[in-house]
Every structure is written in structure tokens, then in C-alpha cells.
């Protein structure tokens, strides 16, 4: 569970980018955040793992009954631990092109192993087995020993997703992961997100400009306009009038 209570974010230049956000996202939901560029979507997303620190309010994250965080007071080793529960994806693939696909997926474990093992790139048989299983889940097993730079854009984004699920997070936050893909590949990646959400009970929160994909694949849509939530409901409730409200100011 993730809960925002009266959350505000003001940048040092005075721009008030999140305005009194009250929001609860339940365990296992697949949520799309939509809105104009500059509406606050990315800022909202990245407050969840404290890449963006909030100015006021509270963000509460409950991983399980014994593991709970209040973001503003979470720092140091506690913040590092929280981030192991949160997989972060972006529109950039962040793959290392000259490394093979398997090594790129194994890199998700680098922060969780000793400094020496990370330095020399040593992973156990069990870690390699888990990484191969992550690739298999996304039908990428045949590319395990292919250099990442030799894959298509859609394949590279799915390698990034395999790396994220290999981290075994409770929450995945994805910032415009399909914006650089064509419609066919975008749908394929969204299908992968949907399957991971359902099969592994991971909470998925995604920023997306493609309203049609949000409607087709997500359980819930949150619309932002000028830092405020102006829509929060099931995709079936997203009428033309609601869309016009979300995107007013174009």
C-alpha cells in the first residue's frame, strides 16, 4: 500500500509542481498516470522512492505488516532497503550495450552483493538461474548471451523489465517506458507489464502518454493537471469530458 497525504512539492525556483496530493494505491494494482508534459507525473512517481523529496505532507509505504516506511523520515540504510523493494524503469533502457543480456539482468543484484563480487562481476549459479528465469518469463531466453546493443528497441526495453523483476520488487514504477517504441512494440511491453502485475502480484505504477494503452491495460487511471489530481477512477469511467479536463491547457 502507498498513501499520499496532503503532499506538496515546490522546486527551488518556486514552481509548485505537486499540489495537496491525497492518494492511496493498493497492493497489486496496475495504475496509469496520465496528463500533459509538466503536469507533475514524473515528480509524483519519483517521490515514491525519494528520488524527489517532497516539500510537505506524508508518503506512507507498507511493504508488509512488519515493513513500513514514512518517506520523509526514511534515509541512509533504511532508504537503501526501501529501494530494494521498488523497481524503477524509465524511457531510457539503461542497458550496458557491450554486455550480454544475461549480465544486464544480473546487474539488478549488484547493490545487494559484496563490493568485491560486484567489482569482479561474480554471480552465483543460483543468481544466474534466477536471472535466466526472469528472461524466460519475458520470452527473451534465446537472447541471454547476445550483446544488448544488438537488440531492437522493444527487446531492449523488455530486457530492462527483466532486470527490474529480477530485483524481485514489491512495487514497479515506470516513467514513460513505451514513449520511444512503435505502437506494436508499445502494446507488447504493456502486455508484459500486465502479466507481471497479475502473475507476480507486483504493484505497477506507470506514467504514460498513450491514453488508449492506459485504458486497455491498466486497472486504474489517475489524471494530473497542473500538479493536481483531476481524475482517479476505472478506465471505463474516462470519458471525453474527463480527458478534456486532464489535458486542458493544450
Per-residue pLDDT of 221-242, as tens digits, reads 999 999 999 999 999 999 999 9
Q: Which helix (H) or strand (E) holds 33?
A: strand 30-34
Going from N- to C-terminal start, the domains of the chain cover 1-85+173-250, 92-168
Instruction: Tell me how far apart the alpha carbons of residues 47 and 58 are, in angstroms, rounded to a whole number.
Output: 10
The whole-number pLDDT of residue 12 equals: 95
3-state secondary structure of 116: helix
CATH code of the domain occupying 1-85+173-250: 3.40.50.300
Instruction: Tell me how far apart the alpha carbons of residues 1 and 54 are, in angstroms, rounded to a whole number.
Output: 18
pTM score, whole prediction: 0.89
Residue 237 in contact with residue 246, Cβ under 8 Å? Answer: no
Tens digits of per-residue pLDDT, 8-32?
999 999 999 999 999 999 999 999 9
Instruction: Tell me how far apart the alpha carbons of residues 224 and 230 are, in angstroms, rounded to a whole number.
Output: 6
Residue 180 in contact with residue 154, Cβ under 8 Å? Answer: no
The whole-number pLDDT of residue 224 equals: 97
The whole-chain average pLDDT of the chain stands at 91
Would you say residue 141 has pLDDT above 70? Answer: yes
Tens digits of per-residue pLDDT, 106-122?
988 766 665 666 666 67
Share of the chain above pLDDT 70, in %: 94
Question: What's the pLDDT band for 45 if we cut at 50, 70, 90?
Answer: very high
Residue 143 in contact with residue 59, Cβ under 8 Å? Answer: no
Question: What's the pLDDT band for 65 if we cut at 50, 70, 90?
Answer: confident
Nearest Cα neighbor of 30 from 237, 222, 229 is 222
Question: What's the pLDDT band for 131 if we cut at 50, 70, 90?
Answer: very high
The whole-number pLDDT of residue 123 equals: 79
The whole-number pLDDT of residue 92 equals: 83
Mean pLDDT of 95-108: 92
The whole-number pLDDT of residue 90 equals: 83
The whole-number pLDDT of residue 66 equals: 87
The whole-number pLDDT of residue 94 equals: 87
The whole-number pLDDT of residue 116 equals: 61
The whole-number pLDDT of residue 119 equals: 62
Amino acid at each position: 500500500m502507498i498513501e499520499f497525504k496532503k503532499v506538496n512539492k515546490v522546486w527551488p525556483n518556486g514552481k509548485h509542481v505537486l499540489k495537496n496530493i491525497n492518494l492511496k494505491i493498493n497492493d497489486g494494482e496496475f495504475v496509469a498516470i496520465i496528463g500533459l508534459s509538466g503536469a507533475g507525473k514524473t515528480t509524483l512517481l519519483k517521490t515514491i522512492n525519494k528520488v524527489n523529496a517532497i516539500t510537505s505532507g506524508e508518503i506512507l509505504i507498507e511493504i508488509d505488516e512488519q515493513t513500513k516506511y514514512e518517506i520523509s523520515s526514511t534515509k541512509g540504510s533504511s532508504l537503501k532497503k526501501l529501494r530494494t523493494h521498488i523497481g524503477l524503469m524509465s524511457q531510457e533502457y539503461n542497458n550496458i550495450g557491450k554486455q550480454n543480456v544475461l549480465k544486464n539482468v544480473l546487474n539488478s543484484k549488484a547493490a545487494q552483493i559484496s563490493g568485491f563480487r560486484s567489482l569482479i562481476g561474480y554471480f552465483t549459479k543460483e543468481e544466474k538461474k534466477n536471472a535466466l528465469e526472469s528472461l524466460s518469463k519475458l520470452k527473451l531466453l534465446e537472447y541471454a548471451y547476445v550483446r544488448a546493443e544488438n537488440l531492437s528497441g522493444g527487446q531492449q526495453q523488455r530486457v530492462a523489465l527483466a532486470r527490474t523483476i529480477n530485483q524481485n520488487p514489491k512495487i514497479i514504477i515506470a516513467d514513460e517506458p513505451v514513449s520511444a517504441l512503435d505502437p506494436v512494440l508499445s502494446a507488447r511491453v504493456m502486455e508484459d507489464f500486465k502479466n507481471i502485475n497479475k502473475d507476480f502480484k507486483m504493484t505497477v505504477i506507470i506514467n504514460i502518454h498513450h491514453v488508449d494503452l492506459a485504458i486497455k491495460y491498466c486497472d486504474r487511471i489517475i489524471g494530473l493537471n497542473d500538479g493536481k489530481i483531476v481524475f482517479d477512477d476505472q478506465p471505463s469511467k474516462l470519458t471525453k469530458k474527463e480527458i478534456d479536463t486532464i489535458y486542458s491547457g493544450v
